[in-house]
Chain A
Amino acid sequence: MPKILYIEHNGKEHVVDADVGKSVMQNALENLVPGIIGDCGGACSCATCHGYIDPAWEGKAGSRNENEEMMLDGALRVEPNSRLTCQVIMTQELDGLVVRLPESQF
């Protein structure tokens, strides 16, 4: 199983055995990683699954889609490497992915 490393804003790390095909948001929720909420369940409608993709992974993790771009436009604490993690689907190639979490999702 590929792994994802989530780093909370306070530096606390969570390594998770991720399910391929599920989103980075879903993998966080199923492993009780605090700091990702995912209110809309992945419908790209709530922006409570915001995370920062480690620059080393930006290419592989793909880029924002149009809807996601629009949601991030109105969100808080957005950086160039911000993504809505429900829109990043886990693959074998993303093994080792590092995602930092914002101070708060709202």
Chain B
Amino acid sequence: MAVEVKVIKKPGRTIAEQVYIPEIAKGLGFAMGRFFKNTFGPQAKKEIATVKYPEEKVEYPERFRGIHRLTQRTDGSPRCVACLCCSTACPAQCIYIEPAEYDPDDPRYGYERYPSVFMIDELRCIFCGYCVEACPCDAIRMDTGMHMPPSTQREHFLYDKETLLSIPGRDGSYLTANPRHEPGDPTHPGVDRERGH
């Protein structure tokens, strides 16, 4: 395709522009016109782009990546199995996890793992959402619709497992959408220690 070029010409100047005063008056008039229209005009609401934060807040859109949360299984245990996929994918390296085995009296003992430590440094996080994408269990999500509450202390930005588990999703739910059942779950269709090996 031939390159279509549009040359931008320099406009000449009229005396009125060179004198400055008439043009500045025109400009001021234009701006003032806007001022009155925006403040008192019939469409005042629409024309003003700002809101009176924090009394008014703009709702975050559906896909907004807010602070993280960890989802739970129906029995309240963390859905996370400490596979470390999220911390592998995290470009800011702000997720620290220590995997552990369940207690011997837990039905999941021997089958499953869980994070004994799960820590996100929300200050270091760049809110890219890679962790959510990398999670193979739907255990970590950023659908809280909340941004980081401000604080003057660094420690307040280190979110531990309990904090992350206690943040609900935007819909108020804590549950995971992952339908997988593991042995140890009452819903697991296979054999386990209770039902005999």
**Is B truly associated with A?**
no
Interface positions of A (Cβ within 8 A of B): none
**Chain B interface (Cβ < 8 Å from any Cβ of A):** none
